[in-house]
Chains A and B, each alone.
Chain A
Amino acid sequence: MSWLRWRVFREVTAMALRDYLRTPDAVFWTYGFPLGMAVVLGLAFGEKPPDPSRIVLLAEPAAESSAWAGFEKPATDGLAVERSDDAARAHDRLILGAIDAVLSGTPDRPVIDVDVARPGAALAELRIDAALRRARGEPEGPRAEIRPVDEPGGRYIDFLIPGLIGINLLGAGIYGVGYNMVQMRVKNLLRRIHVTPVGRAEFLLSWLASRFGLSLLPPFLILLFGILTFGVPVASGAWSWVVALIVASAFCFGGLGLLISTRARTTETVGGLMNLIMLPMWLGGGAFFSNQRFPEFAQPLVKALPLTWVTDGLRDAMLGSSGEGFTAPVACLLLAGFGAVTCLVSFRIFRWT
């Protein structure tokens, strides 16, 4: 290929690779940061016993206390019980959400006050009901079984890992390709290269190839970390799609990075462009929380974000479903197509100076 010479490709890719490896802070932000984030978020939302329902038992301290005797240590029922005779204060705490329910009356005719609008209300009701049955020594009978979701594949960490991979690839493309290219323009390096016979597409493709290669490893490290530490599931047949999605995403975001770098002359301009692209994706790309909760009118917008394609595709491949989102094959096609278009447009409109 006369427009792409092997030695230019070799030298430019090697240069970009060395430049990266000789920048310790860049290595930290691509490897250390996402792993640290996975640890912190994993600890915050990972496997831990569900919070007990906090209730206040309104009862006279001495006289009637024996009536509630079976209620003294209801740890197995997931209740944290506090005795009090101050009904007004208990009511206030209930309204403020500091407790989940107030129990009063007698064990035979219990009264449960709950704020039904609060997420913990129904659970508290069920737990109190179970505790009362046990206290009265009634047969188990038909009672609701409380089953918190903690199976691999259904936890937040399982949802989060695909999101972190997407965010990592987005950063690698926008920062690694785009920002660094503008830096070269600001430092007059592109101008210096422009006065040599090197071709535009030849140089850009070689540069992109190096940054593309560099961006491929961290996603697999994040994934590996998730699998080893939190047991994040990847179905045995899903690996090829996971690999394809990561490669296509790296290409897509590399192209996007290249596109924002084609004309920007200052780091301020490219900084603005980076925010313009990254902020909507962080918020609406489904990385940290589901974007399927956005209202109907916003759905076309969030579905148009490349980060949505990555997170949907990876969740579909790894967890077996992306809900209302894109399937892995569709996501792959969208990402590769978007990457090809942004690269071709960049090659055409790129300016050295």
Chain B
Amino acid sequence: MSDGFSAAPAIEIEGLRKVYDGKVVAVDGLDLRIERGEVFGLLGPNGAGKTTTVEICEGLLEPTDGSVRILGRTWRDDAKAIRERIGVSLQETRLFEKQTVRELCALFASFYTDPRPVDEVVDLVGLGEKRDARYKALSGGQKQRLAVATALAGKPELLFLDEPTTGLDPQSRRSLWDVVRRFQAEGGTVLLTTHYMDEAEVLCDRIGIVDHGKAIALGTPRELIAGLGAAHVVELEADGLDLAALRGVPGVAEVEDSAGRVIATVERPHETVPALLAAVARAGVELRGLSTRHTSLEDVFVHLTGRTLREDQREDGR
């Protein structure tokens, strides 16, 4: 995993713009710096410019403007050298259906100058028992792990994972997380996009949230959550609540209306919840539900983009 040619950041993006057909602005002046050895999560609603950004980094798309350096090099001058050092798991790739796990890993390994031994790659993603199974006989989770295996075949320094766990069951997701962690432990850098906030929170050292082609927040999950100003969330389910009145309750940092539920961020729930309940009682409305929890990345996302990722997925029909 040693890097002989520079100690430059894994990814350096400056003023990146991508305009499709001269009118649709997908990425609008994005700046981003991803250090070596970190797992960086790029989050954002659909159409925010995540995949465009990632595909520019992978050398699949040309930027309209701005600069992108991958491991200190540019696609214009060093495309082959970059490809030798990155591993990519694209969104929605089907591999060759009639080839086995081992054959596919051997195929992709052959493309690299100094590949990882094939059996090692297969074991790395926990597909040892399936090494002779054909691609089409694998489950969704196994297919995704195999996609990551082909990305690891060339001993990459930088791994791109575009929604690697979408549609997987919890167990499959966890086993992919282990693969990512092991890769990081060996010194690798990961750029990850995901729809799952818990995944980002668990896996990522830092997170960038993009919307309308711009980075609107950047930091560690802890920093982003702290940015909301309070550590707990109280959710009230009731109709006709006066948000302004609730904002006036002592200890309430923020109140938002999200799809029929009122979400209040608070510092000390044991003190603030009774006060909130009193306010509900004064308003004379019926309370159908009440819950409290720690503030999550999901809350940050909703606060910043005004949408939940799941709403977004439904819009997409996925």
Q: Could you say which interface size class chain A belongs to?
A: 20 to 34
- Asked if B83 and A19 sit within 8 Å, CB to CB, the answer is no
Q: Which of B86, B109, B113, B134 contacts A195 (CB 8 A)?
A: B86
Encoded as 1 (CB less than 8 Å from any A CB) or 0, chain B from 72 to 104 comes to: 000000001001101010101111101100010
Chain B residues within 8 Å of A15, by CB: 96, 99, 103, 107
Chain B residues within 8 Å of A192, by CB: 88, 90, 93, 95, 150
- Asked if B60 and A196 sit within 8 Å, CB to CB, the answer is no
- Asked if A195 and B94 sit within 8 Å, CB to CB, the answer is no
Chain A residues within 8 Å of B107, by CB: 11-12, 15
User: In chain B, residues 46-82, which have Cβ atoms closer than 8 Å to a Cβ of chain A?
Assistant: 58-60, 80
* A197 and B84 in contact, given A10-B110, A12-B107, A18-B99 (Cβ under 8 angstroms): yes
Closest CB-CB distance, A251 to chain B, in whole Å? 24
| B contacts with A, residue count (CB < 8 A) | 28
- Interface residues in chain A, defined as those with a beta carbon under 8 Å from any beta carbon in chain B: 5, 7-8, 10-12, 14-15, 18-19, 22-23, 187-189, 191-198, 353
Tell me the bound Cα distance from A197 to B59 in angstroms: 11
Report 24 cross-chain contacts, Cβ distance below 8 Å, ordered by A residue.
Answer: A5-B110, A8-B111, A12-B107, A14-B103, A15-B99, A15-B103, A19-B99, A22-B134, A23-B98, A187-B93, A188-B92, A191-B90, A192-B88, A192-B95, A193-B111, A194-B60, A195-B58, A195-B83, A195-B86, A196-B111, A196-B154, A197-B84, A197-B113, A198-B111
Closest CB-CB distance, A182 to chain B, in whole Å? 14
Tell me the bound Cα distance from A22 to B108 in angstroms: 20
- A11, A15, A196: residue with the most chain B Cβ atoms closer than 10 Å: A196
- Asked if A195 and B103 sit within 8 Å, CB to CB, the answer is no
Chain A residues within 8 Å of B98, by CB: 18-19, 22-23
Tell me the bound Cα distance from A196 to B87 in angstroms: 8
- Asked if A195 and B93 sit within 8 Å, CB to CB, the answer is no
Closest to B108 in A: A196
- Asked if A196 and B95 sit within 8 Å, CB to CB, the answer is no
User: Does residue B196 face the partner (Cβ distance < 8 Å to A)?
Assistant: no
Q: Which of B86, B94, B96, B106 contacts A19 (CB 8 A)?
A: B96
Q: 9 tightest CB-CB pairs across the interface, nearest first?
A: A11-B110, A22-B98, A198-B111, A196-B111, A197-B83, A195-B88, A7-B110, A11-B107, A197-B84
- Asked if B113 and A189 sit within 8 Å, CB to CB, the answer is no
- Interface residues in chain B, defined as those with a beta carbon under 8 Å from any beta carbon in chain A: 58-60, 80, 83-84, 86, 88, 90, 92-96, 98-99, 103, 106-113, 134, 150, 154
- Asked if A197 and B80 sit within 8 Å, CB to CB, the answer is yes
* A188 and B110 in contact, given A15-B99, A15-B103 (Cβ under 8 angstroms): no
- A5, A23, A194: residue with the most chain B Cβ atoms closer than 10 Å: A194
Closest CB-CB distance, A352 to chain B, in whole Å? 9
Closest CB-CB distance, B57 to chain A, in whole Å? 10
- Asked if A188 and B111 sit within 8 Å, CB to CB, the answer is no
Tell me the bound Cα distance from A14 to B111 in angstroms: 14
- Asked if B58 and A18 sit within 8 Å, CB to CB, the answer is no
* A197 and B112 in contact, given A11-B106, A189-B93 (Cβ under 8 angstroms): yes
- Asked if A191 and B60 sit within 8 Å, CB to CB, the answer is yes
Chain B residues within 8 Å of A5, by CB: 110
* A189 and B88 in contact, given A7-B110, A197-B112 (Cβ under 8 angstroms): no
Tell me the bound Cα distance from A188 to B110 in angstroms: 19
* A8 and B83 in contact, given A18-B98, A187-B94, A192-B88 (Cβ under 8 angstroms): no
- Asked if A188 and B93 sit within 8 Å, CB to CB, the answer is yes
- Asked if B103 and A188 sit within 8 Å, CB to CB, the answer is no
Chain B residues within 8 Å of A12, by CB: 107, 110
Q: Which of A7, A10, A11, A188 contacts B94 (CB 8 A)?
A: A188
Chain B residues within 8 Å of A189, by CB: 93-96
Q: Which of A8, A23, A353 contacts B110 (CB 8 A)?
A: A8
Tell me the bound Cα distance from A197 to B150 in angstroms: 13
Chain A residues within 8 Å of B99, by CB: 15, 18-19
Chain A residues within 8 Å of B108, by CB: 196
Chain B residues within 8 Å of A14, by CB: 103
Closest CB-CB distance, B162 to chain A, in whole Å? 11
Tell me the bound Cα distance from A78 to B19 in angstroms: 82
Closest CB-CB distance, A28 to chain B, in whole Å? 16
- Asked if A353 and B60 sit within 8 Å, CB to CB, the answer is yes
Closest to A197 in B: B83
Closest CB-CB distance, B52 to chain A, in whole Å? 14
Chain A residues within 8 Å of B83, by CB: 195-197
Other than A188-B90, A192-B90, A193-B111, give 16 A-B pairs with Cβ distance below 8 A.
Answer: A7-B110, A8-B110, A10-B110, A11-B107, A12-B107, A12-B110, A14-B103, A15-B107, A188-B93, A189-B96, A191-B93, A192-B150, A195-B60, A196-B88, A197-B83, A353-B60
Closest to A206 in B: B110
Closest CB-CB distance, B94 to chain A, in whole Å? 5
Closest to A23 in B: B98
Closest to B82 in A: A197
Tell me the bound Cα distance from A18 to B102 in angstroms: 13
Chain B residues within 8 Å of A187, by CB: 93-94
Chain B residues within 8 Å of A193, by CB: 111
Closest to B112 in A: A197
Closest CB-CB distance, B238 to chain A, in whole Å? 47
Closest CB-CB distance, B13 to chain A, in whole Å? 18
Tell me the bound Cα distance from A7 to B106 in angstroms: 10
Q: Which of A19, A22, A23, A197 contacts B111 (CB 8 A)?
A: A197
Closest to A6 in B: B110
Chain A residues within 8 Å of B111, by CB: 8, 193, 196-198
Tell me the bound Cα distance from A206 to B314 in angstroms: 43
